[in-house]
Structures are given as C-alpha cells and as structure tokens.
Structure 1
C-alpha cells in the first residue's frame, strides 16, 4: 500500500470518528457555562444533602474545566515486550490483552509506606521489569496496602479504564506479581472543549439518585474513560470520577459522570483497606 493510500485511509477513519462524535454531541446537548439549570440554589441542594447525611469535600470547584475527545489505536502493544523483561517471569494473554509477570529476584520493601511506594515506583519504572512503566501514575484512591494501582497517563490527562491499568500486588512487604494493560498513545480527535464543573457533576448524581443517603464523597477528579470503539480505535472522553464511601459498610464506589453532558457512565465497586 503506497503512502498516499495510507494517508487517505487515516483521513477516512478520523472523518468517521468526527462524524460519530458530532452525532453524540447533538444527541446529548449540555449547557457548558456551568450555570444552574434549576431554580434550586447551591445552598439549598447542599442543605438537602446534609439532611440526607451525605458529606462532601471541603473544597469544591464550581468552575468549568476543559478536555478533549481522545483516540487510541487498538493494538497488542505488550505482546512483543516479553523478551525485554529480563528481571521477571512474564506471559501475555491475548484474549485479555493483559501482561502478567512476577519478579525473579525478591526485593524487600520498606515498612515505611512512603519509602515502600518509592521502591515500587523504582521497580515499575525499570523497563526490564515493566514495559511502558513510566507512563503509569500511582492512584492512591484505588490502591491498598497490598495492591498498588497505577493508571496510564497521557499528555492530556489520566485514563481510568481497565484496559489502561497496572496493578502491583504485595505480600509480606514483597512484590509478588503484577498485571498490566496498556492502550498506547492517545491523540485528540476534536478541539479542546469546556466541561461541566466538579460541583455540577456531583449535583447531577444527587438529582439522579446516584448519591445514596449515609454516604461520603471522598474524592473527585477529572480523567478519561472509554466511550466507544470505532474502526480499530478506542474513543475516550473527559469524565468526572467520583469516589463515594458508604459510611456503614465502608465500601467504596467509583462512579463516572460524562464531563460534557452530565450523564452517568458505568460504575465499579471495590473495597479498599487503608
């Protein structure tokens, strides 16, 4: 296939992606100014949340943020990296698109949590241990004492998806194994756009009964989540990620709000022992 045909192929693929995203925006219009769309004031809604025993972080931004639609190519980036992993025993699962590995040499981690994290980061950043390790960032809100979770970073923000995650398991202060998935480089497919504010995302969750009584919003961050797959590419969109703790069970639920439309995306529940 000559160079000009390849250029035309990429042009057609990204044109289709652009058309798809345009349709999605038209189907889900949103006021991006951050202004309230109901007569109830911020103070009134906060009062209602308080009466429902829902706690919020002390600082909450009511200012819009910005984000892109991003695209990554669907490829097996990890499959050809096993030979370079000389410090670990590794295998790649094509069905799961996940790399599994365990260290060949035992490394004792410091009992001080901060120093132990530094050691885990050093292990992760060594290409003989973990491929693309430097492209992953520690996520404390998804980690526990025996499981260090890292999310894939891009020039535009972090990706919060099972297909862009590194989990390093620890037992008795030693790294025992890890599982890694990687989505590859991300690039914008549309221009930079305004998003709703963090406060509006939480408010939308409350009005849609996604915030239950007797709960606590422990953290909220803007990241990227998977929207869909189009012609061999995965499309990501800006998402407000909201961590909610049940005050009784201490279970933590990560909920996702479309940062353009304020619509709810998929949720995932897990337990974290701090």
Structure 2
C-alpha cells in the first residue's frame, strides 16, 4: 500500500472522528437550556445555604481548559512484551496474570503497613519502583475507598495535570485489616497508551457552574453535604477500539440519611452525564 494512500486513510479517519465529536458538542450545547437555565437571581451559594446544604471552602468560578482526548486501552501482555527483560525484573516479587487489558500481580510476600495514614505514601513508594510505567500514575484520594477494615487505593494516569477517572487507566491496591496492620496481597493495573488531543484546547465550565447545574436539577437534596469536587477525564465514546475522554466534574454528595452519591457533569457542556452509557461507533 502506497504511503500517500495510508496518509489519506488516516486523514479521513481522524476527520470522521472530529465531525462526530462536533455533532455531539453542538447537540449538548443545544440541550443546555433545559438543564442549566434558571430564572432565579439568587447566588448559588445563598440557595445552598437556604437548603442547609454544606460544603468546605468556596465554590471556584475559575474556568480551566481541557481537550477531547483519544487513547488506546492497552493489552497488558503487549505492554509487558515491549520491554520484557526489565519488566520481568520489576515483577519478580510475585506472580503476574494477564486478562486482556487488565493485569493482576499477586505478591509472594504480602505488603504490610501498620498505620492507615501511611498507606498512600507506602503504596506510592512501591509502585514507582515495582510497577510497569509506575511513574505515569498519581494517587487519587477522591477516587479511593478508605474504610475501617477495607481500603482500596486508586492511582490514575493524567493528561496535563487532569486525572483520568476510568477503569481503563487505573492502578488499584486493595488492603485488608489483619492483626492490627493493613495487608496488601495483590494489585490490578490497566493502561491507556497514545493519549492524544482530538481537537484544540477548549474552555471548561467552572466548579461553581457544575454545582449550580446539579442544584437546579434537584441532584443535591436539602441538608446534604458536598463532600468533594474533582475535575477528571471520563470515557464517553469508543470509536473502532479508540477511547475518547472528556473533562468532567465529579461531585460526591452525602445525603441527610448518610447515604452517598456521586454525580458527573460534562465540563464542556455543563450537562449531567452521571448515568450516561459509553457510546460505541464501529463505522462513521
């Protein structure tokens, strides 16, 4: 196949993806009046206070920037084979199994930590030295689960400082409390390669905008507590095996009955996508 023909195939493919993304973006902007328009002139902070909704600090109105990102969910065996000699040394402290895009490494000697407060630091020290591409992962406290007897620490890849909150890009260490200390017997890993912007950098809706959208759509109940707010990339689309991610605001809310919910707001459109399914496109 001639080089020029290959160039045209890639050009047409990327043009198709961009046209598809533009249609999604325009559609979401057109829908925006339904979900974010409010005739009230009272500031969102005052409305939250009136409903006994609490949060720490202040709601930021800073508009950050982000991209539509494309990436490939890596077959972990392939990632291992890319540098098999070095990776064999990295993983020689246990047994490794590969299941498509997921790796599970079981330690020969369990990883022990006595103090819960030191779990994140100890785990990070380990994965920077003993995990494939370990330096690409950053600990995410908001996406981790820290219970009394069970702890699941999650680290993710990032792009220009914004983490990717998706199962395709995670390093997860699970600890159980045993005999006064926390024990880790294995970890799981997924990895996204070739992260590439599909369009130019775009301005995002702010943290305050996202909270306002959730409030006027009755996603934040009276007497609730906004526990944390985190900007992260989330998976919205799979095009012929290529993942497409968008920046989104993840908001954890504790209700008056102490149950917790996590809401997701697309930071490009300010549209709630909490229960949205990942679209799959085979042809375009």
Contact 1:79/1:92 (<8 A) preserved: no
Decide which structure has greater strand share: 2
Segments of structure 1 that go 5 or more residues without pairing to the other structure are: 269-274
Please provide the CA RMSD for this pair.
2.5
Match for residue 166 of structure 2? 161
Decide which structure has greater helix share: 2
C-alpha deviations, 1:105-149, integer Å up to 9, x for none?
2333242623x32221121112xx422222111111222152211
C-alpha deviations, 1:128-179, integer Å up to 9, x for none?
x422222111111222152211122223521011221111012332321112
SS of residue in 2 equivalent to 1:166? strand
Measure, in 1, the Cα distance between the counterparts of 2:222 and 2:212.
14
Measure, in 1, the Cα distance between the counterparts of 2:234 and 2:53.
26
Contact 1:163/1:182 (<8 A) preserved: yes
Match for residue 265 of structure 1? 273
Match for residue 203 of structure 1? 212
C-alpha deviations, 1:173-193, integer Å up to 9, x for none?
232111222222311110111
Give the TM-score normalised by the residue count of structure 2. Answer: 0.81
Match for residue 49 of structure 1? 48
Match for residue 272 of structure 1? none
Contact 1:78/1:182 (<8 A) preserved: no
SS of residue in 1 equivalent to 2:158? strand
Match for residue 254 of structure 2? 245
Match for residue 106 of structure 2? 102
| TM-fit CA distance, 1:257 | 0.2
Give the TM-score normalised by the residue count of structure 1. Answer: 0.84
Contact 1:66/1:195 (<8 A) preserved: yes
Question: Is 1:91 paired with 2:91?
Answer: no
How many residues end up aligned between the 2 structures?
A: 258
Match for residue 239 of structure 2? 230
Segments of structure 2 that go 5 or more residues without pairing to the other structure are: 277-284
Measure, in 2, the Cα distance between the counterparts of 1:262 and 1:113.
35
C-alpha deviations, 1:211-259, integer Å up to 9, x for none?
122321111122111111113211111111111122432x332211011
Match for residue 150 of structure 1? 155
Larger deviation, residues 6-15 vs 221-230? 6-15
Question: Is 1:76 paired with 2:84?
Answer: no
Measure, in 1, the Cα distance between the counterparts of 2:2 and 2:123.
46
| TM-fit CA distance, 1:15 | 0.8
Larger deviation, residues 17-26 vs 2-11? 2-11
C-alpha deviations, 1:9-38, integer Å up to 9, x for none?
322221111101111122122799xxx954
Larger deviation, residues 201-210 vs 45-54? 45-54
SS of residue in 2 equivalent to 1:191? coil
SS of residue in 2 equivalent to 1:59? coil
Larger deviation, residues 56-65 vs 198-207? 56-65
Contact 1:65/1:195 (<8 A) preserved: yes
Match for residue 254 of structure 1? 262
Measure, in 2, the Cα distance between the counterparts of 1:80 and 1:70.
20
